[in-house]
Amino acid sequence: MKNVYGMNMQKLEDYFVNIGQKKFKAIQVYEWLYDKRVSSFDDMTNIKKDVINSLKSDFTMDKLKLLTKKKGKDVCKYLFELHDGNKIEAVLMYHDYGNSLCISTQVGCNMGCTFCESGRLKKVRNLEAYEMVLQILQVEQEEKLRISHVVLMGIGEPFDNYDNVTCFVDIVNHPKGVALGARHITISTSGVIPKIKEFMNYDKQVNLAISLHAPNDELRSKLMPINRAYPLKDLMVVLKEYIKRTNRRLTFEYIMLKDVNDSEKEALELAHLLKGMNCYVNMIPYNETSHIIYKKSSKDNIMKFYDILKKNRINVTIRREFGSNVDAACGQLRSNYEEGK
């Protein structure tokens, strides 16, 4: 049985037409789900009983189970259990511009990035669209606040789960759904070229972020195995085409790893790689974990790297550090829970 929170408007309209009802009932259902936030089909009081019975026989409204949450300064991390016992994470970050939620898109991850806790526990399955939507709804309910921005940067590679991710975006972007503006949604990919090409034709102005983390093929292939399948030279061609086709600015994420990718040499290479592109670099201080040998770059090295990019006219920001005291490295809370810590 399908979960109703995984139905985008088109699918729900098609459902009502197929059972002999008017498709406007889909809007009524959305209003109950996302505006009034009811927890039972029986609470949808302006929908006839026979239609309610059809909904109850064809859909569930099952929620995720919140196992634990850890709060820190300006951050809160949630561990959810899915219907099959698998576990995922979401991280709420309080910014001056609003409340941003980082959500998971898969149980585990097959990308195998050497610095990432998520990849240490391999992909079990893709998340369904409803399991992504519910991360937002349940955090909002738990904290009694409104999520203003969503980033798909939690456990998983979103473009390895493309159809469910775009269905999720349809739901949360719809004005009768969660009603998040497309420009308040960011999808992060490690560089799945075929799906980036497909995403060029997606009809919503969602932000795209690229997990780069190295400015040359040799280093990037060591850090990120996906680079062996989709090397930088091919990736950059596609990204320049993406910018040209969509007129959207790209974000490049760059985790700062001590004595690995944080030298003056790498900064200059990165500036050369990105020269002339409509983009900016988001430098990310590394969240260390007990399972992985990498260490966070020193503040001095981070600032030197930043200054080199600035001098070479690359737009760059340094992300605030969030959650080092709440197991906020991607996949860390889940792996610690699974391993009995």
Decide if pLDDT at 47 tops 70. Answer: yes
Structure confidence by residue, pLDDT tens digits, 257-308: 999 999 999 999 999 999 999 999 999 999 888 778 899 999 999 999 999 9
Angle in degrees, CA 276, 282, 284, rounded to 5: 145
pLDDT at 336: 54
**Pair of tokens at residue 105:** 């898109």
Per the model's pLDDT, the better-predicted residue between 117 and 190 turns out to be 190
pTM > 0.75: yes or no: yes
Structure confidence by residue, pLDDT tens digits, 200-241: 999 999 999 999 999 999 999 999 999 999 999 999 999 999
- Whether 236 and 252 have beta carbons less than 8 Å apart is answered as no
Please state which of the ranges 153-157, 208-212, 289-293, 322-326 shows the lowest mean pLDDT: 322-326
Query: How does the average pLDDT of the chain come out, rounded?
Result: 93
pLDDT at 212: 98
* All structural domains of the chain with their residue ranges: 2-60, 65-338
Span 233-255, average pLDDT: 97
pLDDT at 220: 98
**Alpha carbons within 13 A on the beta-carbon side of 152:** 32
- What is the chain's percent helix, strand, coil content, to nearest 5? 40, 20, 40
Choose the catalytic residue: 13, 76, 89, 128. 89
Decide if pLDDT at 339 tops 50. Answer: no
pLDDT at 117: 81
pLDDT at 262: 97
CA separation for the pair 299, 150 (Å, rounded)? 28
Instruction: Tell me if residue 330 is catalytic.
Output: yes
3-state secondary structure of 286: coil
CATH 3.90.1170.30 fits 2-60, yes or no: no
pLDDT at 331: 46
CATH 3.60.21.10 fits 65-338, yes or no: no
- Whether 224 and 113 have beta carbons less than 8 Å apart is answered as yes
pLDDT at 51: 97
Choose the catalytic residue: 113, 116, 279, 330. 330
